[in-house]
Amino acid sequence: MSGSLAIRMRGVVKRYGAITAVDGLDLDVPIGTCVGLLGPNGAGKSTTMRLLTAQSIADEGELEVLSFRLPGESKAARAQCGVVPQLDNLDVTLTVQQNLLVFTHLYRIGRAERKDAIERALRMANLVERRDTRVDKLSGGMRRRLLIARALVHRPRLVLLDEPTVGLDPQVRQEIWALIDALRSEGSTILMSTHYIEEAQRLADTVIIMSHGRSVATGPPAELVMEHAGREALEVFGPPARLAEVEADAGAAGLRTRRTGTSISILGVDSNGYPIEGERRPANLEDVFVLLTGEEIA
């Protein structure tokens, strides 16, 4: 049935009053892969994450996590999942080690294995030297690493990462990416929500682009780019009036365009020599993202 899937969602709907946050979502996370849930703010990514831990209960549809059916069997599923929340919820007056100790209990690690589990988590997050430091004395990057390590103390079969690098400095983001990449290479199964395109492109085996509560495209990042944006894009710079003209011409020629702030990108110009001067560049996931989720920010 779903033996090779860590997560299986079919036709999942979640409404909050008049708002439909998740609107008929189908989602598969095969075991041993890292799936990135990419979408703009308000696309329903965080609600999807909450559904997977039964902190939100779906109005319609089927959800299975590690072949446990939700919400009824959610507790058994949660015992084998590690969750890294978007917002830091560490106990700030406790030390690094105390935070991990609490979670070895919450995740039911036996007395004999607790010490090893804590040591392993400390090493993984590179916080061995900081074990006795109170959390409120840690840097932002260290807190993030601890938040991830805390989710891994019990060697979960599935890791849920909700916007793992939101609001972090570029340097710290690299650190977190390295940590997630290490997890991937160990063969962990990961579902990661993000609105950073680069993050999805670098870390995810499969990207699911979400918009308005549903999945609008699924595939490996490179294939998504080929399929939706082609190989190359032509980026034309100029004053606004000129850009509008270029946009109209391209539209008339049956090509898709997207605004790129100060320029306009014409997509799918791979083979035909398009008669306009501009910079040719490889098409990227951002092109796909904007094409599929719309240019307007809700």
Partner 1 sequence: MAVTTAAPRRLGRLERPALTGVLVREVVNFSSFWRSSTFSSTVEPTIYLLAFGFGFGSLVSKIGGYDYVQFVGTGTVATAVLFSSAFPAMFGTFVKYKFQRTYDAILAAPVDTEELVTAEALWIATRAGVYGCVPMLVAIAFGLDPAWGMLTVPLVAWIAGFGWACFGIMVAGFASSFENFNYVVSAVLTPLFLVAGTFFPLSRLPEWAQVLGEINPLHQCVELVRHAAFGFDGWTDLARVGALVAFGLVLWRIAIYAMERKLVD
Give the residues lining the site for partner 1 (CB under 8 A).
16, 50, 53-57, 68, 72-73, 75-76, 78-81, 83, 85, 87, 89, 91-94, 98, 101-103, 105-108, 155, 157
Q: Return d(Cα 10, Cα 165) in angstroms, integer.
A: 28
Could you tell me the smallest distance in angstroms from the CB atom of residue 175 to partner 1? 22
- What's the min distance (Å) between Cβ of 2 and partner 1? 14
Whose Cβ is closer to partner 1: residue 75's or residue 280's? 75
Q: In angstroms, give the least distance from the CB of 222 to partner 1.
A: 30
User: Residue 20 Cβ, how far from partner 1 at the closest point, in Å?
Assistant: 14
Min dist. Cβ of residue 107 to partner 1 (A): 6
